[in-house]
């Protein structure tokens, strides 16, 4: 079969950061089912252990490392260990991320920096750690998990939007700088996904009614619902496979149509 229709990840090593649960877990699981060897990291051993137990329960043989992706020394050490123990990383998904929902003028510079550190500096650090071996190997796939906030702003998420907007441009710049080495760097821009990160936006109100944001976002989404992390996996496998070798510097929005829609008339 020609590479153009090769969606398999057979024999590839995939590192997904922050993949003990949530979107990272869904993507890593889909990669395993497409034939890849899965490696993931999380900031705490307890979350790595929980993640390993989940992967095992799903019949997935994953390897987990404790690594704070904002710490360049830890990242460099982790990548060296992965290369020695598993093999050169063919696919990197920069998934680890945090958000702080604070009105900008109430946010401290330290809080702003903390979000930028995980959501923008860390993808730079991890990509920089894996690219040299990808160049030597003659190919590589880097997928950065962007956001609606790579394109849109909203109240209380200034740091997160700045980071995710920057991540879109980092994606394009890695494409520009390393496309010549057969490295494709693309983004996935999820819409609103039901994960622990968005749980506060879906919490039932004291009177049992839906959270106002829950109602708002369903009205802003043509699909009329929150998306599931598993709905990102097909696009994630495509961008990790040879089928996307001519796709580079692109952010694929998997948002149920939010970016195309002005919103339901009240
Ligand atoms: P999540 O449930 O909060 O999971 C985030 C993961 O990142 C956790 O495993 C977390 O580990 C890990 N992490 C955080 N800081 C880290 C660090 N310094 N080093 C290593 N791991 C770290 O988030 P999610 O909803 O799955 O989102 C995953 C990615 O998708 C994020 O980049 C997020 O911005 C993006 N995204 C989410 C949505 C959505 O609607 N959910 C939409 C668009 C984009 P700990 O638990 O140990 O902190
Ligand atoms: C928020 C949400 C969003 C999602 C996602 C949307 O507070 O608006 O957390 O930012 O996480 O990034 O694409």
Q: How many CB atoms lie within 10 A of CB 234?
A: 12
Q: What is the pTM of this model?
A: 0.98
> Taking CB atoms and a 6 Å cutoff, what residues make up the pocket around ligand 2?
99, 101, 147-149, 154, 157, 160, 190-192, 197-198, 201
**Catalytic residue (one of 25, 55, 160, 253):** 160
Structure confidence by residue, pLDDT tens digits, 103-148: 999 999 999 999 999 999 999 999 999 999 999 999 999 999 999 9
Instruction: Indicate if 122 and 222 belong to the same structural domain.
Output: no
Is residue 177 in a domain? Answer: yes
Q: Taking Cα atoms as reference points, which of 220, 152, 184 lies closest to residue 3?
A: 184
Residue 265: per-residue pLDDT = 87
Instruction: Indicate if 50 and 159 belong to the same structural domain.
Output: yes
CB-based contacts of 153, cutoff 8 Å, min separation 6: 161
Is residue 266 in a domain? Answer: no
Strand 183-190 relative to strand 62-66: parallel, antiparallel, unpaired? Answer: unpaired
> Taking CB atoms and a 6 Å cutoff, what residues make up the pocket around ligand 1?
17-18, 20-24, 41-44, 47, 68-70, 95-98, 118, 145, 147, 190, 192-193, 195-198
Instruction: Indicate if 100 and 199 belong to the same structural domain.
Output: no
Structure confidence by residue, pLDDT tens digits, 204-222: 999 999 999 999 999 999 9
Give the count of domains, the chain. Answer: 2
CA pair distance 95, 153, nearest whole angstrom: 20
Mean pLDDT of the chain: 97
Residue 39: per-residue pLDDT = 98
Is residue 265 in a domain? Answer: no
Instruction: Indicate if 158 and 49 belong to the same structural domain.
Output: yes
Residue 171: per-residue pLDDT = 99
CA pair distance 188, 168, nearest whole angstrom: 9
Instruction: Indicate if 186 and 217 belong to the same structural domain.
Output: no
Structure confidence by residue, pLDDT tens digits, 254-265: 999 999 999 988
Question: What's the gap in Å between 170 CA and the centre of ligand 1?
Answer: 18
Per-residue burial over 28-41, b = 16 or more CB atoms within 10 Å of its CB, e = otherwise: bbbbbebebbbbbb
Instruction: Indicate if 207 and 172 belong to the same structural domain.
Output: no
Is residue 235 in a domain? Answer: yes
160 is catalytic: yes
Instruction: Indicate if 200 and 186 belong to the same structural domain.
Output: no
Strand 183-190 relative to strand 13-17: parallel, antiparallel, unpaired? Answer: unpaired
Is residue 57 in a domain? Answer: yes
Nearest atom of ligand 2 to the alpha carbon of 101? 7
Q: Please, which pLDDT band fits residue 4 given cuts at 50, 70 and 90?
A: confident
Residue 237: per-residue pLDDT = 98
Q: 3-state DSSP call for residue 262?
A: coil
CATH for 136: 3.40.50.720
Residue 122: give the domain boundaries: 3-191+228-260
Instruction: Indicate if 130 and 199 belong to the same structural domain.
Output: no
Nearest atom of ligand 2 to the alpha carbon of 198? 9
Instruction: Indicate if 144 and 219 belong to the same structural domain.
Output: no
CB 148 within 8 Å of CB 191: yes
* Rounded average pLDDT over 15-37: 98
Is residue 33 in a domain? Answer: yes
Is residue 211 in a domain? Answer: yes
Is residue 46 in a domain? Answer: yes
Question: What's the gap in Å between 49 CA and the centre of ligand 2?
Answer: 27
Instruction: Indicate if 109 and 211 belong to the same structural domain.
Output: no
Instruction: Indicate if 182 and 205 belong to the same structural domain.
Output: no
Residue 99: per-residue pLDDT = 98
Q: Please, which pLDDT band fits residue 1 given cuts at 50, 70 and 90?
A: low
Instruction: Indicate if 236 and 213 belong to the same structural domain.
Output: no
Q: 3-state DSSP call for residue 214?
A: helix
């Amino acid at each position: 079969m020609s590479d153009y229709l090769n969606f398999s990840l057979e024999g590839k090593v995939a590192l997904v950061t922050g993949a003990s649960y949530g979107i990272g877990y869904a993507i890593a699981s889909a990669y395993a089912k497409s034939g890849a060897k899965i490696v993931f990291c999380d900031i705490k051993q307890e979350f790595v252990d929980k993640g390993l137990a989940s992967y095992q329960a799903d019949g997935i043989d994953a390897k987990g490392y404790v690594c704070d992706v904002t710490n360049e020394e830890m990242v460099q050490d982790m990548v060296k260990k992965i290369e020695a123990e598993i093999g050169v990383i063919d696919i990197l998904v920069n998934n680890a991320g945090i958000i702080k929902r604070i009105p900008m003028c109430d946010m401290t510079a330290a809080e702003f920096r903390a979000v930028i550190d995980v959501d923008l500096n860390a993808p730079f650090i991890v990509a920089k750690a894996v690219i040299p071996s990808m160049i030597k190997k003659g190919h590589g796939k880097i997928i950065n998990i962007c956001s609606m906030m790579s394109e849109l702003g909203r109240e209380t998420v200034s740091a997160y939007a700045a980071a995710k907007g920057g991540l879109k441009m980092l994606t394009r710049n890695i494409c520009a700088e390393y496309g010549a080495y057969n490295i494709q760097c693309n983004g996935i821009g999820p819409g609103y996904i039901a994960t622990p990160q968005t749980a506060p936006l879906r919490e039932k109100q004291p009177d049992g009614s839906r959270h106002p944001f829950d109602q708002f976002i369903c009205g802003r989404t043509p699909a009329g619902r929150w998306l599931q992390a598993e709905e990102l996996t097909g696009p994630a496998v495509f961008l990790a496979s040879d089928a996307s070798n001519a796709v580079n510097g692109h952010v694929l929005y998997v948002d149920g149509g939010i970016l195309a829609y002005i919103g339901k008339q009240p």
